[in-house]
Amino acid sequence: MECPSYTIATATKTSTDDTVNNQKHPFRVSVEGNIGCGKSTFIKHFGQFPQVDSHLEPVELWRDVQGQNLLELLYKDIARWNFVFQNFVQLSRLNIQTRSTDKRVQMFERSLQNNR
């Protein structure tokens, strides 16, 4: 689904044995897009609904890794910190996206497949 400011890249139904009222696994949606295109705003909108478990990128986590601002280090010396940063980002996304929920829909800002 293409929109002027964002793209919904993946929407995965994780169980084929679901009914509307007896869903075993949540419907998972990852929102992809460029920096500043409205991903967070889009997810926050749907996060107000009681059956949606919304997750924004944990930027605050990346800015405080045992007292170090990994995001700032990346911007200062990308050649030195890119590998470390990308691995930490991937691990933080994995931790968020594997949490269980009792809600029917999970929305994520960017997917595990996002890193290039």
DSSP assignments along 56-104, one per residue: ---HHHHT-BTTB-HHHHHHH-HHHHHHHHHHHHHHHHHHHHT---SSS
Question: Is 57 annotated as catalytic?
Answer: no
**Could you report the per-residue pLDDT of 33-82, keeping only the tens digit for each?**
998 999 999 999 999 999 999 999 999 999 999 999 999 999 999 999 99
In CATH terms, the superfamily for domain 7-114 is P-loop containing nucleotide triphosphate hydrolases (3.40.50.300)
Domain boundaries, the chain: 7-114
Structure tokens that stand for 1 in this block: 């689904």
Asked whether residue 25 carries a pLDDT value surpassing 90, the answer given is no
The catalytic residue among 32, 60, 72, 109 is: 109
pLDDT for residue 114: 78
> How long, in residues, is the chain?
116
How many angstroms separate the CA atoms of 67 and 64, rounded?
5
